[in-house]
Structure 1
Amino acid sequence: MKITVIGAGALGTFYGGMMSAAGYDVTIVCREKDVETLKKGINIKGQIEKQANPDVSSSPPLSDIVFTAVKSYDVESAISDLPLKPDTVVIIIHNGLGCDEIAASKLGKGHVGIGVSYSGVTFVRPGTVSVAGYTETVFGSIENDVSARLGEVVKILESSGLKARVAEDIRSAQWEKLYANVGINAITAITGLKNGMLLEVPSLRSLVVSAVEEAGRVSAASGIKTDVDPVDKTFKVIKDTYNNRSSMLQDISKEKPTEIDVLNGKVSEIGHKLGIPTPVNDTITALVKGIEKRHGN
């Protein structure tokens, strides 16, 4: 079975390296300038220590399973020239909402799966990442035939040492992760703090609660039913990734664009459409966009 991972950032390097270290036939697709560096090997350090030597390319080969581990704003370009077999599963691993719909509009029916990753992985340099925490990866699809094929993906990750499962309702699973992202990513990006510090400052703890409670009201109005309390879920993720620097904080530190539009911005967007007030997420989104503007994005 041929596996391709598109994106050699934190998550792409992590997942590609873990599967390659377990003996799977993996190709990591990266920018041309990083090909030679990644060909020297993948190093995963921190809570998980692995070394691997996957194939490396600047263009995706024909594969059975494709993981896209790029930022939300890069998903469309990442899959634009993707070669597909009739049963190739393309798993969009991303934060927020909306990217799998973009992928499905480009790739058509029968291909698109969704991956929700509960992990704290920091990009150190091309080919090297540091793992502060990992809980699980949740897979699913809004297409039943694709969901049925995701069990094989779960087996691959589990045999690579990573807990994984297929969700019965992937939209609910996405919202459960979104709650945590809404309460963590933008606030840590604005303050520069690691995840755990949000629980140590009372005013920030309250801000997390307000942002996540808004997201809970929006999801309920959207007809989403989850098995978790949004605030409790967020606090658990914060504790599980206590020493992690969120992906948005990493982006802000590098003066890169953020994924605010598919996180707090998406809560605001859906809330406005449904007539649900979202003043906290509106403000947080505006502040991050202000930082992006300062950086020239």
Structure 2
Amino acid sequence: MSGAALNVLIVGAGGIGGYYGARLADAGHNLVLTARGRHLAAIQARGLEVMVEGETLRCRAPAVDHATLIRKHRTTDFDLVIFTLKSTATKQVLKELGSWLAQGDVPVLSLQNGVDNEVLIARRLGEARVLGGLAVRIGGHITEPGKVRAEGVAQVVVGGWPCMEQSHDCRRTVLSRLKKVFDAASIPTRVSDNIRYELWRKLVINNGVNPLSALTGLDTRSLTHHPDFSRIVHGMMAETVEASRADGVNLKSQDLDEMYELIRSFNAIKTSMLVDKEKGRPLELDSISGAVLNRCQKLGIDAPYTRLVSALLRVEGSQRL
């Protein structure tokens, strides 16, 4: 990861990946995007257009499907691979790209929802190549093929997976360079020595608002300021804090308070799970609520709020089929 411009592959150039990709391209870095269907065709024909806070970013980076990526590119063509696809697609994408990715030693950064994506990537490529990460205070969605709308501060937190206990961890050099590149591209970035802790803190928010927003159709601000729904949000967040003990993360009541106040003060955004439901796409329910329920089961404790909301969403989904 040397030189002024990086060669970056973004796997899954949807709302989040499209925004960060456009920022990096605008800063002079070389991008290749992967997408599919009409979104891919539109990017290939007209480029990617990203609307953010009254600003329009236009990215003319090449876009390909996975089969074309494998045929036309080598892993060594890239300095960094960023996964920004839905967590529901991680296993399938690793089946499609795993052997290709294994041919080199390029770092792979996950900027996905949930706490299990890095586990899957590390299992395929080894922990030494895996950078965990999360997108903070950003909402991003495809509004129509080739067009993305994003909002929020759009910060990033990154770190070696699952943590970096050693001062001589070679990933520190990569992460230091990455922070400089992202900061210069108007992507505020923080490096964490315990990225698994950061991912669990984000899961506290995601489990608190994503499933309930998909169930009710309400945005995050409406949920967190509603006299009844706000209590359910807080309850689901508290259950996530308890579930973190199963991974040895041990979040505290302070983490719960901080995450609850953060989402209450954030913009009124339509969650990604609500958008997926409206568009008839698979929900990241297993990656978010499922992760909490599985850990609670291992700990022998109940998570009634998460269990009920998750069950209602599944029943609702089955009735639409």
Same fold (TM over 0.5): yes
The match for 2:112 is: 94
> How far off is 1:33 after superposition?
4.7
Separation in 1, partners of 2:251, 2:299: 19
Q: Does 1:15 align with 2:20?
A: yes
- What letter corresponds to residue 23 of structure 1 in structure 2? G
Deviation (angstroms), 1:105: 1.5
2-structure distance, mates of 1:221, 1:97: 12
1:142 maps to 162
**In structure 2, do the counterparts of structure 1 residues 274 and 183 end up closer, same or farther at CA, with 3 Å as the change threshold?**
same
Query: Which consecutive unaligned segments of at least 5 residues does structure 1 have?
Result: none
Aligned residues with identical type, % of pairs: 24
Partners in 1 of 2:245 and 2:190 — Cα distance? 24
Matched, 1:47 2:47: no
Residue 72 of structure 1 pairs with residue 87 of structure 2: yes
1:67 is aligned with what amino acid? I
Q: For residue 218 of structure 1, report the CA deviation from its aligned partner.
A: 2.2
Query: CA separation in 2, counterparts of 1:109 and 1:221?
Result: 20
Which residue identity does 2:195 align to in structure 1?
A: I
Alpha-carbon separation, structure 1, partners of 2:162 and 2:246: 20
The residue aligned with 2:218 is: 193
Which runs of no fewer than 5 residues in structure 2 stay unpaired? 1-5, 164-168
Aligned partners of 1:5 and 1:233: how far apart in 2?
28
Contact 2:289 2:310 in 1 (8 A): yes
Distance in structure 1 (CA, Å) of the matches to 2:320 and 2:26: 38
Give runs of aligned pairs for residues 51-130 of structure 1, distance below 5 A: 51-59=58-66, 60=69, 61=73, 62=75, 63-79=78-94, 80-81=96-97, 82-83=100-101, 86-118=104-136, 119-130=138-149
SS in 2 for 1:268: helix
Further displaced range: 125-134 or 176-185: 125-134
Structure 1 segments (4+ residues) deviating >6 Å: none
Answer 1 or 2: which has greater helix percent: 2
Identify the residue that residue 166 of structure 2 maps to in structure 1: none
Q: Alpha-carbon deviations, 1:97-133, whole Å to 9, x = none?
A: 1111111112234221112111111221222111221
Match of 1:131 in 2: 150
> Normalized against structure 1, the TM-score is what?
0.92
Deviation for aligned residue 1:16:
1.1
Equivalent residues of 1:179, 1:231 under 8 A apart: no
Name the CA shift for 1:84/1:146 in 2 (closer, same or farther; >3 Å). Answer: farther
Q: How far apart are the structure 1 equivalents of 2:41 and 2:61?
A: 12
1:34 Cα deviation (Å)?
A: 3.8
CA contact (8 A) 2:155 2:187 kept: yes
Are the structure 2 counterparts of residues 127 and 110 from structure 1 closer, same or farther at C-alpha, using a change threshold of 3 Å?
same
- Looking at structure 1, the residues matched to 37 and 229 of structure 2 have their Cα atoms a distance apart, in angstroms, of 41
Corresponding residue pairs, total:
295
Deviation at 1:73, TM superposition (A): 1.8
